Chain A
Amino acid sequence: MVAVLLVLVWVLSRVAPAQMPQAIAGGDVLSVLLGDAKKDLSGAMVREADSYFHGGVDMDCHHLHDHHEHDHAHHDHEDQAEEDHDHKTESFDPWRWINAHIRAPEIDRHLDGGKAVEMMPWFWVAIKSDPHNIEAWSTAWYAAAHLMKDEALALRIATEGQRLNPESLEMACVLGRAYRAETTRDQVKSEAMFHKVIELAEGKKELEEGDELPLFSALGYLADSAKHRKDTHELTVLLNKARQFSPNHPTTRAIERMLEAR
């Protein structure tokens, strides 16, 4: 019965999308089932992949841990002092204690090498749920390229992600980086993608949060290539563009130094 209803909704949304604005026209079964919740599902799947990266440890539970047993590498002294203070004021909670020991043991292992493939199903579901989840695409590419060292897989992910998100600076930058890899190297395509990042940035009235990193990465890669080609003109053009976006950015300063060294 439910299946019949779902098929009916899907067919009607295809046949008469204007009459059924509540149905997501052109969507797949997930769209019909979940609607806008797909974005939340996609985010949850990326968090699941992150949990897999940390050896399956429930990261939400880590903060529940007794601080005497807690020894996470990226905790600095300030955090530790704050945590000490919190623990002195908190009373013992047996339920919290059990949960922390069952679900978040003090292991410090990360998936790397071929084992990182375990994250891929979750990235795949994240991307299927929301093809515009840039974080999912870029993290999946990172896992393939840098953890699994599978550059062909990384290139496939980057190409598909960029195809589905042609307006994303980050995806264009990711694809540019994928073309720079050793086994999939294609300098022309790589530089074309980095130029596309700059074009996309120039086409925007104002840079959005998260645009700066891919933009200056692209400028940095292009400047590096120009430096190797001893192309002073290209370096000058890139420096002017970098100054236009942020005159005091470290990449802008780095390009200035490259030109001074010429």
Chain B
Amino acid sequence: MKGSMRRIGALVKLSLLELWRRNDMFALLVLSLVLLVPLSLARPFGASGATRYFDEVALLLVWGYSLFIALGIGGRLFTSEFANRTVYPLLAKPISRGELLVGKFLGAVAASWSALAFFYALWAGSSLLRGGECLTVCFFQAFILHALFAALAVAAAVAGSFLLTPSASTTLLAILFPAMFFFGRHLPDYAENVSGVLRGLVNAFYWVAPHVEFFDMRQRLVHGWGGVEVGVFLAVVGYGVVYSAVLLFLAHFLFKRKRL
């Protein structure tokens, strides 16, 4: 058990180092500055004092970045190992496929969360500088749910990389997640407007597709509504954990069956 934890710990450390050594984070930071600095100087109709639009756009960017990072890391986890044939020496050591999967998954999640924490800290800093109140219950709830979203995205990317080619899997998820984020809650309304088999398909999709919009607490944060009720919060946490676990089990099943 102790040896297993040590091996998993080493994999987590490797993933963290990989993310911060790459230029992705630096590029995203520069992109944020290019987009947000002019936005912060905007005076629509010459009126000053509006800040919520800035917070909303900044948080939307953080969502975009977190998806980009999670899908990128998750998609690369095993494909690069297979392509470079480095998976063979890894598995030749006393490490099981399950340990490798869990270790790499936790490493990718830790890397995603560290990036997320960095961007949330920047957002909180900018909010404090503008005289806002940000270290609230709502802020921490928003961060936790966002972190669960990142874990779910990594799990989906890992499972997808065993099912499809890396580019196909990443492209599909890069379409599916934003689509669910913006339109997921409207699926029952779309189902009402179609009939027959299509209605059944839309309804089935509504029940099984990842409802990533559950994790989005931007509106609460931007408009200062306060935190969500504990019951609802735990329901979303449970949803995220269960969905990620199912995807990981699927990935494990596919990895075990994969001929090396």
Contact = CB atoms under 8 A, between A and B. Distances in A.
Interface of A: 52, 55-58, 60-61, 64, 93-96, 98-99, 101-103, 105, 107, 114, 117-118, 120-124, 140, 144, 148, 150, 153, 156-157
A148 B137 CA distance: 30
Contacts of A156: 45-46
B47 A56 contact: no
B225 A103 contact: no
Contact of B239 (A98, A117, A118): A98
Closest 4 CB pairs of A and B: A56-B223, A124-B44, A121-B53, A101-B232
B188 to A, nearest CB: 7
B42 interface: yes
B120 interface: no
Interface stretch (B82-90, B127-135, B212-220, B242-250): B212-220
B214 A98 contact: yes
Interface of B: 42, 44-53, 185-186, 188, 206-207, 211, 213-214, 216-217, 219-220, 222-223, 225, 228-229, 232, 235-236, 239
Nearest to B206: A95
Interface-centre pick from A58, A103, A157 (highest chain B CB count, 10 A): A103
A95 B186 CA distance: 11
Given A124-B44, A150-B47, A99 B53 contact: no
A156 B53 CA distance: 22
B229 A101 contact: yes
B46 A153 contact: yes
A95 to B, nearest CB: 6
B132 to A, nearest CB: 13
A56 B225 contact: yes
Nearest to B213: A99
A51 to B, nearest CB: 8
Contacts of A103: 185, 213, 216, 219
B214 A102 contact: yes
B45 A61 contact: no
B164 to A, nearest CB: 26
B47 A118 contact: no
Contacts of A52: 52, 223
A98 B236 contact: yes
A8 to B, nearest CB: 22
B225 A107 contact: yes
B50 A117 contact: yes
Residue from the set A93, A102, A150, A153 with the largest chain B CB neighbour count within 10 Å: A102
Nearest to B187: A95
A118 B52 contact: yes
Contact of A98 (B42, B46, B225, B235): B235
A101 B211 CA distance: 14
Contacts of A57: 219
A105 B239 CA distance: 20
Contacts of A150: 47
A160 B220 CA distance: 34
A118 B53 contact: yes
Nearest to B145: A102
A102 B49 contact: no
Contacts of A61: 185
B42 A121 contact: yes
A117 B47 contact: yes
12 contacts: A56-B219, A56-B225, A96-B188, A98-B236, A99-B214, A101-B228, A102-B232, A103-B216, A120-B45, A148-B47, A153-B45, A153-B46
B45 A140 contact: yes
Contact of B50 (A55, A94, A102, A120): A120
B141 to A, nearest CB: 10
Contacts of B48: 117
A28 to B, nearest CB: 16
Nearest to B48: A117
A90 to B, nearest CB: 10
Contacts of B52: 52, 56, 118
Given A61-B185, A101-B229, A157 B45 contact: yes
